[in-house]
Structure 1
């Protein structure tokens, strides 16, 4: 499996001694949005729609888990253990967030065969997810990640199409045209042979 990624929110480093939240061990997720910390509030439906749209359009499943604490575990390892317990595979992304009193830390997990670039994914998490978590917009962090995954998928598909010498439809037409020419030549040859014998 790909190395799990660990990120500590800036406030978590400064305020780690402000209080100890209820710890949560890695868990088996059964839904794409798991909010054990109760921090999404009215933003949960929007987050659920975003991950549903991603799954429907790009066959990628984004799982987001919000808990009060990672039970002193490394966030990336906590995310990896949760992914393993949940049976996640190469089409899945797991974002795990621990939200305490004025603190946050998070990690994410993807399989080593995940179809998108790890560099692009890390850039997305750093540039889109982290600022929203820092601002307390947890639902917005999930939505932003879902949208960026869609954009990354579209960009990779476009790059693959441009790299191909011909699109698949053109290749099919060329093969079909060659087959027609060969068939016509074969029939004409048989006709000439029949004419010569007669």
Structure 2
């Protein structure tokens, strides 16, 4: 077992968890933040998307112990965010959701895309959102909703600039959590050796 200190939606949380506990399971089971959904559990569908130190991340394939000292934002932590509120309204009015299971991950990714890019076309939106899967809508409503909010944000940028997020996800940033992945796994190694390797 490992003790972690993780800031989630602005509140410091301390917990003792198994080294192989995924961040998604920690958020859902330990903190009852069930807006983070589990879909494929292989990091493909995007339903489990959260922000880790400002980076969009797949919580189903992220060990919670690697987030020791990190700052996590879930969909619940963005309730008062103006850009997120605009996206929620646009998703509703553009019929960008049906069952809603993928919507929290879609919204977090869409917010990140708009915040990072000043000019977005329907094609670039489709490309940036390609890691989030929806099995209901056919994506047209999703793309239209994001384009609408992006256009409004670009128009109002000088009056009310969007808060800059952290660096975009990439190979060089994948292990930049609270402690480094090497340090965290080194601490957890005795317990990890007792577990067989398998997908979460």
Which category describes the TM-score, using the shorter chain as reference length?
Answer: under 0.3
Who wins on radius of gyration, i.e. which is larger? Answer: 1
TM-score normalised per structure 2: 0.28
TM-score normalized by the length of structure 1:
0.28
